[in-house]
Structure 1
């Protein structure tokens, strides 16, 4: 039997503050198993419970000079384990929420990336069909749709009649609708796809 196991918690903590390794060993042997059971009941995981108690004892040794215990030492240790378990639970919840949000972000990112690729492909297709229009019709169409000019302004700039401009725009829209299909054509007209 060693001399330390006969000492009270108060005496052991006094020796601990002075750096007495024997006192620390006695505290560890006296409380490790009880604190482990206390942690395990809450965590339901042997490894995590062991880690929590070991971390607490490491803290106690490293901060032995600063520890100010105003209650029974055992109460201090139980409260410290409870707080560590609670903190571990919060970290675990945050980690789960973070991982869930990361999964959502990745899923949305894949969706957004897929949509961007499809939009780019459709834009290329629309641009190709616009470029295939006869030169004068293409010019009138681009002035109308891309530059937002009125039929009157286009007619004045090109030195032609409004009727000719209107006819050219109608013909170009009819050609694009037949080449692109109604869905792509509608998306283009709504401004959801830009060439």
Structure 2
């Protein structure tokens, strides 16, 4: 006779170790059930969209499962999962802000200038090339760049928000700028 384990009485640490080290899907499900509603609540408060909040929480848990065996907790599971959600929320907000900013900036530029359609298309293509190059950056690098350039955060603010050093922030921004510069150079080369 097989005795089923009762996961409800296990601590988060025990459950995390079971799923992270032993691929125990029932331990993972128990963690999901414990945190799903709390994390949705946090995300809805910031994003003001239940659909986006659910999408973010689901994405975090999918990545958690995909990275099992590679995750090392430095603090509690609660702290870890809360940081993951916070990071995703900032990323989503930065992405939304960037999109709004680009659309407004593009519309204003087009409306205020007597540019021809061809010039508008070239401008739009350069913007697209920049956006595409930013998307090729590692996720954390994208977030740092977007917080810096689109949200207007200082390096100190970014370091504080993401719990990283200012040197790491500088490194991410430098990497993003190098990538964008190379991308624009390649794009302009194809135009001429």
Rounded Cα–Cα distance in structure 1 between residues aligned with 2:61 and 2:116: 50
Task: Give the number of equivalent residue pairs.
Answer: 114
Partner deviation per Cα, 1:36-65 (whole Å, 9 max, x = no partner): 111111111111111110011011000111
Question: Computing the radius of gyration over CA atoms, which structure comes out larger, 1 or 2?
Answer: 1
Gaps (5+ residues) in structure 1?
A: 115-195
Aligned counterparts of 2:76 and 2:116: Cα–Cα separation in 1:
60
Length-normalised TM-score, structure 2: 0.55
Q: Paired residue for 1:83?
A: 87
Q: What are the ranges of 5 or more consecutive residues in structure 2 without an aligned counterpart? A: 118-192
Structure 1 runs of 4+ aligned residues shifted over 4 Å read none
> 2:24, 2:55 → 1: CA distance?
23
* 2:71 is equivalent to residue 51 of structure 1: no
TM-score if structure 1 supplies the norm length? Answer: 0.54
Residue matched to 1:72: 76
2:21 is equivalent to residue 23 of structure 1? no
1:152-171 aligned at under 5 Å gives the runs none
- Give the equivalent residue in structure 1 for 2:45: 41
Question: 1:2: Cα distance to partner?
Answer: 6.2
State the Cα distance separating 1:75 from its structure 2 match: 1.2
Taking the aligned partners of 1:68 and 1:47, their CA distance within structure 2 comes to: 30
**Secondary structure of 1:67's aligned partner:** coil
